[in-house]
């Protein structure tokens, strides 16, 4: 797939933040996204996985047009969004919506939820007050809420209900693309399943293209066509979801997959414990960024950054040793 065949793509995306580690510390540059290429085809669901602090949320906001990259460009239907005429750029913003991670802070506490859902419809214009209300009520019903909920405030709802409200609000502008940032991480397990099922239903009924950001690979396994694994601002593996879980080609992916809870004694389950903590993005390790935590690392890994290479058809990994470690 080339960028021109993608509905949404990022080319060599880079984002840094100027931060200070403390009152007496010098200001430094935190590298959150570092030269990332990503392509999402129309109708595809792509997962973006990795630990907290790997740059997933920043990448999602850049792809959604909510944050400008410091380098590279985002393309919509093959055209860089920063070069689009104002009317087309506005269309991109309407057709690309984000579901935010925290359902407790992503809703205005002073707005009734009916007004929050209706706001995108009002901004779009061209509809009567009656038509906007009818659409708002239909969206509430679509996500499993009732008409009487429209007059309530966010603090009257549970976390799962608030996330449903966020989904309804995202659907209000009839988007093509939904980018969901950790959409179930703050919810109970039983509620997580409900929201995942709702996202799958919405994708099918509204013909959506989706990017799902999550540190939990078990979520991505069941909803995504393809998964990108991020580590310290770069993509270290990209593969069709089914293949990634069976034939991963990077030690970081191996560790993340091994951490998925399983029934005790389940065949094929081998414990892999990551050494140490995620290094600071203010001081990215030399060579392979994962080498300080990798049980397979050799001197080459410590000195030379590995390229993201195609190991099998459609399966890419950035690891010097993948053919030796994962020959199957």
DSSP 288-322: STTGGG-TT--HHHHHSPPP-EEEETTEEE--TTH
Range of the domain at 320: 225-327
Inter-axis angle of helices 159-171 and 189-206, nearest 10: 10
What is the C-alpha to C-alpha distance for residues 311 and 237, in angstroms, rounded to an integer?
10
Q: Is residue 51 part of a domain?
A: no
* Helix ranges (DSSP H) in the chain: 56-63, 86-95, 113-124, 129-142, 159-171, 189-206, 217-223, 241-247, 251-258, 299-303, 322-325
Q: Which residues of 94-117 are buried (b: 16+ CB within 10 A; e: fewer)?
A: bbbbbbbbebeebbeeeebbbebb
And the tokens for 137? 């009520």
For the question of whether the overall pTM of this predicted structure is more than 0.85, the answer is: yes
What is the C-alpha to C-alpha distance for residues 186 and 124, in angstroms, rounded to an integer?
31
Q: Is residue 284 part of a domain?
A: yes
Whole-number pLDDT of residue 296: 94
Instruction: List phi, psi (to 5°) of 207.
Output: 55, 50
Q: Which residues of 192-212 are buried (b: 16+ CB within 10 A; e: fewer)?
A: bebbbebbeebbeeeebbbbb
Q: Is residue 143 part of a domain?
A: no
Q: Is residue 314 part of a domain?
A: yes
Q: Is residue 11 part of a domain?
A: no
Structural domains counted in the chain = 1
Q: Is residue 266 part of a domain?
A: yes
Whole-number pLDDT of residue 292: 95
Q: Render each residue's pLDDT in the chain as its tens digit; 328 residues.
A: 544 468 999 999 999 998 876 665 567 889 999 999 999 999 999 999 999 999 999 999 999 999 999 999 999 999 999 999 999 999 999 999 999 887 778 889 999 999 999 998 898 877 889 999 999 999 999 999 999 999 999 999 998 899 999 999 999 989 999 999 998 887 888 888 888 989 999 999 999 999 999 988 988 988 999 999 999 999 999 999 999 999 999 999 999 998 887 655 555 555 666 777 888 888 899 999 999 999 999 999 999 999 999 999 999 999 999 999 998 6
Instruction: List phi, psi (to 5°) of 113.
Output: -65, -30
Strands 8-20 and 71-76: antiparallel
Contact yes or no for 289/229 (Cβ under 8 A): no
Q: Is residue 274 part of a domain?
A: yes
Whole-number pLDDT of residue 125: 77
Which residues on neighbouring strands pair with residue 180, listed in sequence order? 99, 212
- Among candidates 36, 72, 19, which has minimal Cα distance to 282? 19
Q: Is residue 241 part of a domain?
A: yes
């Amino acid at each position: 797939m080339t960028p021109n065949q993608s509905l949404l793509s990022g080319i060599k995306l880079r984002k840094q933040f100027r931060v200070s580690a403390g009152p007496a510390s010098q200001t430094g540059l935190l590298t959150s996204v570092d030269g990332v290429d990503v392509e999402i085809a129309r109708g595809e669901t792509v997962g973006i996985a990795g630990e907290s602090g790997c740059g997933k949320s920043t990448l999602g906001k850049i792809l959604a047009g909510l944050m400008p990259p410091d380098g590279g460009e985002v393309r919509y239907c093959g055209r860089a969004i920063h070069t689009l005429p104002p009317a087309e750029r506005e269309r991109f913003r309407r057709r690309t919506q984000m579901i935010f991670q925290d359902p407790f802070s992503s809703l205005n506490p002073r707005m009734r939820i009916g007004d929050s859902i209706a706001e995108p419809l009002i901004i779009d214009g061209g509809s009567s007050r009656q038509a906007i209300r009818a659409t708002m009520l239909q969206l509430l019903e679509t996500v499993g809420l009732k008409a009487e909920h429209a007059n309530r405030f966010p603090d009257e709802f549970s976390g799962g209900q608030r996330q449903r409200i966020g989904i309804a609000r995202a659907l209000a502008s009839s988007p093509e693309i939904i980018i969901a940032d950790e959409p179930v991480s703050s919810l109970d397990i039983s509620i997580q399943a409900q929201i995942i099922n709702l996202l799958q239903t919405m994708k099918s009924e509204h013909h959506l293209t989706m990017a799902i950001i999550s540190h939990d690979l078990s979520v991505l396994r069941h909803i995504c066509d393809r998964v990108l694994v991020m580590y310290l601002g770069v993509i270290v593996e990209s593969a069709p979801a089914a293949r990634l879980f069976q034939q991963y080609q990077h030690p970081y992916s191996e560790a993340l997959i091994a951490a998925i809870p399983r029934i005790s004694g389940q065949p094929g389950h081998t414990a892999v414990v990551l050494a140490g903590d995620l290094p600071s993005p203010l001081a990215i390790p030399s060579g392979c960024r994962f080498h300080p935590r990798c049980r397979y690392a050799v001197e080459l890994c410590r000195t030379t950054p590995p390229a993201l290479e195609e190991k099998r058809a459609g399966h890419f990994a950035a690891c010097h040793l993948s053919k030796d470690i994962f020959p199957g």
